[in-house]
A and B are shown apart, each in its own frame.
Chain A
Amino acid sequence: MVNASGPTGGKIKRPSDGKIPQAVAFIKCVGSRDDVKGRSYCSRACCMYTAKHAMQVVEKIPDSDAYVFYMDVRTAGKGYEEFYQRSVNAGAQYIRGRVSKIYPHGDRLVVKSEDTLLGKPIEVEVDMVVLATAMVPAAGSADMAKLVGFSIDKDGFFQEAHPKLQPVETFTGGVYLAGSCQGPKDIPDTVAQASAAAVKVAALFSKDKLATEPMIAQVDETKCTGCEFCIPICPYQAISMKPLKTRVHSHTVERQVATVNKGLCQGCGACVAACRPCALNLNGFTNDQIVSEVDALCL
């Protein structure tokens, strides 16, 4: 709306009747940080964009009021606290309290809350209410994760391989994450993560050979019966079938056997435990090696 090329040509107007609002209430943490609504996380960007929007209201509309209802003001970021203070100094009125009710009064809205700093109920009449709603994963993102073969976290965002040490990698080789698909974040964090992901990809392509972990699954093609049981078991979609020609009694027989993509296999060994003819084995953790360990430890 405040964008000059936006639908209102840069003017802040009520979507309902196009009137310029004299008083605007902003409500933060709507649906975020609320176990009852099933979203315990903080959406991270809304404290700052609400500060920005409240400041834009008081600066762009003469004699207007901007009320911000909040639980906390989270300003972790370079220059963020200063930005929030600028919004307060510009005239945004911060009220600490959860809004209990909003009801119409004429063509205005009454916002009912408690001011927990003053310890008393408060009611303000405004022309427009702006909600800072929770950042949630896009519809269908879980299906996409399943299709590509990586996992989602408890809130439905894409799961990184390690929260501190591998924040842009997924558990699937060659798939990287950037932006709010991985968790709520603002533009600077998105740009940082996207740059990191781009560099990871560039590093992959800068070599003509790919170094992988040596502990990967291996197929004994003579034992593989081609049952395909291992294919849905592999969480990384590293197993596929390939044709194998063998000579049997002086003629050639073609059959399907499993083959492991060495770049995708992460060496979890789930397929090995599931392989009924014992055609699959995991380098470094073979059946024989583990059984020998069991034997040695039970002595």
Chain B
Amino acid sequence: MSVETSKGWEPKIVAFACNWCSYAGGDLAGLNRLQYPSNVRIIRVPCSGRIDPQFVLRAFMMGADGVLVSG
């Protein structure tokens, strides 16, 4: 399922996932042994309201290609 180009490049995606919905969904996916792409790196937050725009900017600054905010 991972996005790959001919050169094998994969985008680095930082996902902020709400503890109560998306993160729980990720957990459930794990329990059901479903694979998700390893280039998505998840950060658990207590609520999508906790996400400071600075975290998003920081991720881009540190080289992330995409940021997913889910909640």
Contact = CB atoms under 8 A, between A and B. Distances in A.
A272 interface: yes
A224 to B, nearest CB: 17
Contact of B52 (A272, A284, A297): A272
A190 interface: no
A78 to B, nearest CB: 33
Interface in A247-299: 267-270, 272-273, 282, 284-285, 287, 290-291, 293-295, 297-299
B14 A297 contact: yes
Contacts of A287: 52, 54
Contacts of B53: 273
Interface in B2-60: 12, 14, 41, 43, 45-47, 49-55, 58-59
B55 A269 contact: no
Find the residue from B12, B45, B46, B52 having the highest chain A CB count within 10 A: B46
A268 B50 CA distance: 6
Given A273-B51, A297-B41, A298-B12, A285 B46 contact: yes
Contacts of B54: 287, 291
Contacts of B12: 298
Interface in A230-244: 233
A291 B51 CA distance: 11
Given A290-B45, A297-B41, A273 B50 contact: yes
Contacts, number: 60
Contacts of B46: 215, 267-269, 282, 284-285
A282 B55 contact: no
A233 B47 CA distance: 13
A270 B14 contact: no
Nearest to B49: A270
Find the residue from A267, A272, A290 having the highest chain B CB count within 10 A: A290
Contacts of B47: 268-270
Given A268-B46, A293-B43, A298 B62 contact: yes
A30 B50 CA distance: 43
Interface of A: 215, 233, 267-270, 272-273, 282, 284-285, 287, 290-291, 293-295, 297-299
Interface of B: 12, 14, 41, 43, 45-47, 49-55, 58-59, 62-64
- Report the 10 A-B pairs with minimum CB-CB distance, sorted nearest first: A269-B50, A270-B49, A298-B62, A268-B47, A297-B41, A273-B52, A294-B59, A294-B58, A298-B63, A293-B43
26 contacts: A215-B46, A267-B46, A268-B46, A268-B49, A269-B46, A269-B47, A269-B49, A272-B52, A273-B53, A284-B46, A285-B50, A287-B52, A290-B50, A291-B54, A291-B55, A293-B43, A294-B43, A294-B64, A295-B62, A297-B59, A298-B14, A298-B41, A298-B59, A298-B63, A298-B64, A299-B62
